Each structure stands twice: as structure tokens, then as C-alpha cells.
Structure 1
Amino acid sequence: PYVQDQMFAENEGIFGKRLIAGAFVFSAGLGLVATNCVNAFSYGYDKLRFIKPVFIGDTIYSIRSNLDKKPRYKEMGLIRASYEVFKGEGELVLYCEHLQTVKYRNPADFVGKTEK
């Protein structure tokens, strides 16, 4: 009801107004820094946290940071990147880490170094 019902949000909600759904903040926030890469594939997300509420009319922006990379498969490695979504003047509202498999430029460089 906090997202869809304005009357409920105003009268019963702890913030006094409608929220933006966390799943939408996640999707829009990551979409702001997404790129098309035919050699990378989503492996999953870790540490997804909705830290602060986002309201209708708030402006958000995102920062992506590379955290780690390691050999994983015969032809693909695993990278971990963090996404921080902010609103307004730098208020952190969402954090998550994205794991992706990425094709090696030269698979021969990783022979004997992979986990699987």
C-alpha cells in the first residue's frame, strides 16, 4: 500500500507520502550505468540493500565500481562490481554487488588457474 495507495501512504504510512518501489529503484538505478557487452553475462546479485526511501519526484544517480576479478571457468572469469544509487545531494539509497561472468580475451592465459 505504501507504493500504490496515496490515501494509505498519507494517513497510515510512516513517511506520510507514497514511496517508489524498491525493485524499481534497483532496476532504474542499475539501468543508469548499464552498458551492452556481448561478452559478459549476469551471474547474480549479492548484498542488495534498500537503505533509504525514494519518493515520487526524487532524482537518482548511480556509481558503479569494480571490486574484484578472478578466473572461474575455462573460457570465462568472474567479476564483482558494486552499485551505489544516490538521491538528491548524495544520500545513499541502495547498495548491491553484481557478479558477472566475462569471456577472457585470451583463454590460454588462464589454463590451470580456473576453479571449474
Structure 2
Amino acid sequence: MQKIRTARFQIGDVVKHRVYPFRGVIFDVDPTFSNTDEWYEAIPEAMRPSKDQPFYHLYAENAESEYVAYVSEQNLEPDDSGMPIRHSEVEETLVATDDGGYRLPPAQFH
């Protein structure tokens, strides 16, 4: 029986990559790896993360661009810079909080 781990981060948390120079805000969480085998195999074997940990979907940015990233929990750490995320989709899907993070907007029922 596989043990399910509790995700360290949650939707709206601002994080940065431990190795590569990018940061982002989490907009979705997978309890374990849930991407394609091709994506996984493209990672150099020595750097491939374990699949049995949470993976995060990020609105990510680096000095040159904005994009969507899929990152294992082991490769993320909190970003406490307090700088807002400039990714264009953030304002469309998340609401900024007073503490520098983000949250989902209240549900809209019709």
C-alpha cells in the first residue's frame, strides 16, 4: 500500500526553484506525478525526482519570460521576497493576499 504524503505547499503559495532561477505561484497540486512519461524521461536521469511526491503546477517566471511549470516538491522552497508574480494568468485566476501570497477567488454560483 502506497503512503500518501501531505503536500508541503498549497494553491496560492509563492515558491522558487531550488536549482534553477525561476519562481512562481502554485495554481494546482497533484498528490503524485501526473504528467507524461515523455516529460519525465526528458529530465536528466541524475536529476529525475521521485514520482511518489507532490508535484505542483506553477504560473512561473524568470528574468526573460512567463510560462507554466510542473515541479516536484523536493525542488521547491518558499519565496519570501514579497515581490508580486507578473505572470498574466495570475490576475485571471487568483486573488492577491495581504501577506504577499495568493488565494482562489470566492466561488461564484449562478
Q: Same fold (TM over 0.5)?
A: no
Structure having the higher strand fraction is 1
Question: Which structure would you say has the larger RCO, counting Cα contacts within 8 Å and 6 or more residues apart?
Answer: 2
Q: TM-score range by the shorter chain?
A: under 0.3
Q: Which has the larger radius of gyration?
A: 1
